[in-house]
Chains A and B, each alone.
Chain A
Amino acid sequence: MVKFAYYPGNVARAASIEVEDCIQPLCSTLGIDLFEIPKATSDGGNIISQASTILQHTLVARNMALSENMGLDLMTTCATSHGIHCDTIDAMEEDLSLKSKINSTLAQVSGVEYLGESSSRHLLHVLVEEIGLDKIKSLVKNPLEMHVAGYYGPNMQKEGACSEDNVFSPTYLEQLISALGGTPVNYDLKCQSVGAPALLTNQSSTLRMTAAVLNDAKENGAQIMVSACTLSHSNLDTYQVKAGRITGKNTSMPVIHLAEMVAFALGHHRDRFAQLKTRVMIIGS
């Protein structure tokens, strides 16, 4: 068994509850043991850092320190959260005075320190690098049998956050889609931001960005999109009609999260997978 401290991100237990429904069964099938981090908080979502960088870093370092105390690396399903964790880890490694300041605050407030021994992992990287595509392939019960566009987003596509995948031309999602019996769709904008942090404030430009990503995937033959980022998932799914309306582009496409895709292919939530396939048939490509 592979063991991780599980961090659901900011929205997996709120607006994206369907992710939470899938992560436990898929990990159980693949032999990943997830342990809750009971006192974990929001990581600041790159929003709190706009008022106070050190406050966001300290929130993240606290979560990392709690994982470290459990003797585990932290795993998340959200690319934004993973990117934020990696930013804090890098910042603390590069700036010892920042590290001291954060750790002395944490020691006073929570009685913990983050020493840098626990690292952050994204579910996608764990699946490809720890579990292995061959094992995943062997456990597939319901092959995807669809043209699937993988969306990485920008947050984990940077040095130090993308693990062994390529920063600019990642392929892990495509490899995973193939292993799950789907046909990966290659498109240019798979790493482009959809402006998730500014969804409520710069709606006009974020919707254009969202529409561009969806339309690019659709024009390249995608029937569904799978997102490695729970936060961006909201833009891509909930706001896709609005995005299509203001840009006049065809954006209509089911968007699911990585955890859902894997869980469906491994035979969990068969009813939901059937619903998804029906929607794909109705919407078309």
Chain B
Amino acid sequence: MLDGDFMSKPVLILFGTQSGNSEDLAAQLAKSATSHNLVPTVQDMDATTVEQMAASERILIICSTWGEGEMPDSAEALWDSISVDDAPKMQNTFFSVCALGDTSYEFFCQSGKDWDLKLEELGAKRVFARQDCDVDFDDSYAEWVKGVLPAISSVGESVEVVEESTEEVTDSASEESTSGELDEIMAEGDRKLVILFGSQSGNSEDLAFRIKSKAGEFGLNPEVFDMEGFDLNSLAETSRLLIICSTWGEGDMPDSAEALWEIANSDKRPKLTKTHFSVCALGDTSYEFFCQSGKDWDGIIEQMGGNRILDRADCDVDFDPTFEKWVIPALAGLASVDGSGVFHPELVSLFINLVDNKGKKSSTEDLDTPVISRQPIELSFKIFRYNPMNVEKGWDTFECKMPGHFSILDALKTIKSEIDPTLSFRGEGPLSGVIVNGAVVRADRSRLIDMVNLCGTELKIEPLPGYEVVKDLVISTKNYDNHRIRSKPWMIPATRSGVNTVSGTTIGMMEASNATELHVIGDIDSPQLLHSFSDTLPYDSEYIGPALVMHTWKRVNDERYSEKARQSSLNLLQNDGGAWNESDSSSFGRHGVLGKKISNSFNECRSELIRRKGFSGKHGRLVKWYGLSVKWSGKVNETTLYRQVLGPLGLVSNIFSGVSMRMILGFTRTGAKPFRSIFPLLAPPAGIGKIPPMINSKVDSHHEVANLFNKLDKRF
């Protein structure tokens, strides 16, 4: 390889701007120039001297035209300096000019033309023809970049041609041979990679899929498996294994990994002598047993005969940096295991280089790929702050200018790095959720421009409700996790008949409609976010929350689930803390399509509970008597509901709590007659003040209502 410094080619990029377009293009040009081994210096003409220009070997100029063919303000001084008679000669300078202008003016691109001629007059050599760009300059500019960068980059190569060409040939030959070796290993035999995750909050799962998306670049065929329900024996024939596992509580395995861990520690565990592996452990340094589960897996796989190709990575709550450092060498290591299971350590660095080069190549290719970037927007972020050290909470406001395509997370990162390093929030993943002006969103997936369109330029960012706040926007999922344990979310399979496939393997079958229904119920990107959809949750500590109700409801609908476990799940949904604890499931509707779906699923779940458990309990009685009162008269009879749902004790309690009195007297309300009819005198208090009559009058054509109930639901 050639030495980086030897190859460096400085280029001076000068811009003369009036509206900012030239400056913007100069910045883009600098970015593109680096992929041509150029070392760009971007400079405003205002800050440039003629001497500096004369001393530069390579100059690229982007200059707009102002008024009647005049130089922009920022270019005037330099233009005056270079226009004097004794301006320095520039025989050693190579240049090209991109001129911005407007064809509707007479002197189109005049300033650019002037620079182009002036530099030629002073002896500089034009390496690429001037490009004149109209108001819509993107295409013309792109065309110029495409031609000018290779041209200016090749300047001076002929001078050093002898030395460089030798090395280039060597380098190219070595690259070819390297590439050949890698091609060979990537083409031959089994390239399967097993990625196994044990997850509690979803982070490990997220990382597993991130590895999967990267593994293809190493010529691997990745498959991701949850530890829950995974057949450990299948690893015996696996050459490549990556494990990502979080740690739970006091160094415990996450729920989904427990069963597999037990098998790994039993006599039934397989030998893994053919398996090459590495482990990424997720944890939290504030706990005593940091990353214990990952450490346990690392140890046990080795005990089972596995060959560790890379040391374990132990990641803290902010896991991204450690993970990123681990993932490339880990994939390169496993990619260096050939089709017959032999590890070739000498290939690891070649794989890393290959992927690095691909990265560079792809960034070069990006030049031709349209990138949708948004103009910076003036924003005001009002961010919730909580300091656990002195238990202080409040709001901080940050006035910033950020591009619209930034995500909320990008914005938070920018504020943290440039304004307030003490700001805390979660990184990428399902736990990045926050509330922005009342909307529950994932910070890593919500663009500023979309939030601005929804709520304006003042963005109020709060932590998710329904969770304990640890610091600023960071929430603790402890309560959610405890409820999750209580809901026993794991699959307890039923024994069911199977069918044999052509190859003789026995598999369980499921109706396509049932499978689709399960997918629909379970199609939830972030359960932790869904948990926050509920308005009830912050006020009801017993309630397991909508995410866990939905998970349990999905299990109930899964025909693979054992009947005993189904009954247990139905009891969980029916009893305190379950589906009936949600006080207003229709309020999910404000959270878009998912909210609407969850609201509908809640109704389905409750309908099933009523079907199985009858109209029992307060909730059942409310539904039954609401329905009956509507069937009987076409209207709701609130007096009947109070009497039937609360019962005599509840009504007495209302008397003592002042509710009845307020209903009779209408304390803060106004209007209404003291007595509605003669009826209240016969059966008080119904019909007195705001307490509705005990018996409703019927709506017109009431028989139609009764008939409708009889046709659709005879339980009423």
A residues with CB within 8 A of B = 10-11, 13-18, 21-22, 38-42, 44-55, 58-59, 62, 80, 83-84, 87, 90, 105-106, 108-110, 154-155, 157-159, 161, 166-169, 191-193, 195-198, 200-202, 204-206, 208-209, 212, 237-242, 245, 253-256, 260, 269, 272-273, 275-276, 279
Contacts and interface: CB of A to CB of B under 8 A. Distances in A.
A193 B636 contact: no
B344 interface: no
Contact of B586 (A18, A54, A155): A155
Contact of A15 (B622, B634, B638, B673): B638
A170 to B, nearest CB: 9
Given A53-B604, A255-B668, A241 B657 contact: yes
A52 B590 CA distance: 22
Nearest to A205: B540
B583 to A, nearest CB: 3
B704 interface: yes
B711 A105 contact: yes
Contacts of B456: 169
A58 B708 contact: yes
Contacts of B618: 200-201
B626 interface: yes
B434 interface: no
A50 B584 CA distance: 11
Nearest to B589: A158
B642 A200 contact: yes
B646 interface: yes
A166 B539 contact: no
Task: Specify which of B456, B587, B610, B701 lies most central, judged by the most chain A CB atoms within 10 Å of its CB.
Answer: B587
Contacts of B117: none
B671 interface: yes
B607 A52 contact: yes
B662 A39 contact: no
B17 to A, nearest CB: 38
B645 A200 contact: yes
Given A15-B691, A17-B690, A39-B704, A201 B658 contact: no
Contacts of B692: 11, 14-15
B589 A276 contact: no
B638 A193 contact: no
9 contacts: A14-B635, A55-B709, A168-B439, A168-B590, A192-B587, A200-B650, A205-B539, A241-B658, A255-B669
B365 interface: no
Nearest to B605: A50
B583 A46 contact: no
Contact of A110 (B595, B622, B642, B701): B701
Q: Return the 10 tightest CB-CB contacts between A and B, nearest first.
A: A195-B583, A18-B671, A154-B587, A168-B438, A272-B670, A14-B692, A208-B539, A198-B583, A193-B584, A205-B540
A254 B536 CA distance: 24
B627 A51 contact: yes
A13 B669 CA distance: 15
Contacts of B707: 109
Contacts of B691: 15
Interface string B626-646: 110010001111100110011
Interface string B595-622: 1100010011011001000010011001
Given A53-B600, A269-B671, A238 B439 contact: no
Contacts of A49: 603
Contacts of B590: 154, 157-159, 167-168, 191
Contacts of B539: 205, 208-209, 212
Contact of B713 (A17, A52, A161): A52
Contacts of A212: 539
Contacts of A237: 662, 668-669
B659 interface: yes
A109 B708 contact: yes
> Would you call the interface of chain B mostly helix, strand, loop, or mixed?
helix
B638 A21 contact: no
B700 interface: yes
A58 B641 CA distance: 22
Interface of B: 437-439, 454-456, 535-536, 539-540, 543, 580-587, 589-590, 592, 595-596, 600, 603-604, 606-607, 610, 615, 618-619, 622-624, 626-627, 630, 634-638, 641-642, 645-646, 650, 657-659, 662-663, 666, 668-673, 676, 690-693, 699-701, 704-705, 707-709, 711-713, 715-716
Contacts of A45: 626, 636
Given A53-B604, A237-B669, A154 B712 contact: no
A206 B455 CA distance: 28
Task: Specify which of A46, A105, A198, A200 lies most central, judged by the most chain B CB atoms within 10 Å of its CB.
Answer: A200
A159 B595 CA distance: 11
Contact of B690 (A15, A80, A169, A273): A15
A46 B627 CA distance: 11
Nearest to A106: B708
B623 to A, nearest CB: 5
A109 B712 CA distance: 11
Nearest to B454: A168
Given A18-B672, A193-B535, A241-B658, A58 B712 contact: yes
Given A52-B713, A197-B583, A18 B669 contact: yes
A168 B626 CA distance: 31
Nearest to B660: A238
B586 A154 contact: yes
Task: Specify which of A22, A39, A49, A204 lies most central, judged by the most chain B CB atoms within 10 Å of its CB.
Answer: A49
Nearest to A21: B671
A238 B662 contact: yes
Contacts of A80: 586
A254 B671 contact: no
Given A10-B635, A55-B713, A256-B670, A198 B705 contact: no
Contacts of A200: 618, 622, 641-642, 645-646, 650
Contacts of B624: 51
Given A17-B671, A59-B708, A275-B670, A168 B630 contact: no
Given A154-B589, A200-B645, A200-B646, A50 B669 contact: no
Contacts of B607: 50-53
A208 B606 CA distance: 23
B712 A54 contact: yes
B589 A87 contact: yes
A41 B634 contact: yes
Nearest to B656: A242
Nearest to A54: B712
Contacts of A52: 607, 712-713
A279 B455 CA distance: 36
Contact of B623 (A50, A84, A202): A50
Nearest to A189: B535
A22 B709 contact: no
A14 B638 contact: yes
A254 B668 contact: yes
Contact of B630 (A41, A166, A253): A41
Nearest to B604: A53
B540 A202 contact: yes
Task: Specify which of B582, B585, B590 lies most central, judged by the most chain A CB atoms within 10 Å of its CB.
Answer: B590
Given A40-B699, A53-B607, A108-B711, 19 more contacts: A14-B693, A39-B699, A41-B705, A42-B635, A45-B626, A55-B713, A59-B705, A62-B704, A80-B586, A83-B589, A110-B708, A159-B590, A168-B437, A168-B455, A169-B455, A193-B587, A196-B584, A202-B581, A272-B670
Contacts of B583: 193, 195, 197-198, 202, 205-206, 209
B627 to A, nearest CB: 5
A47 B626 contact: yes
Contacts of B637: 14
Contacts of A209: 535-536, 539, 583
Nearest to B536: A205
Given A242-B659, A269-B670, A51 B610 contact: yes
Given A59-B708, A87-B589, A168-B590, A18 B670 contact: yes
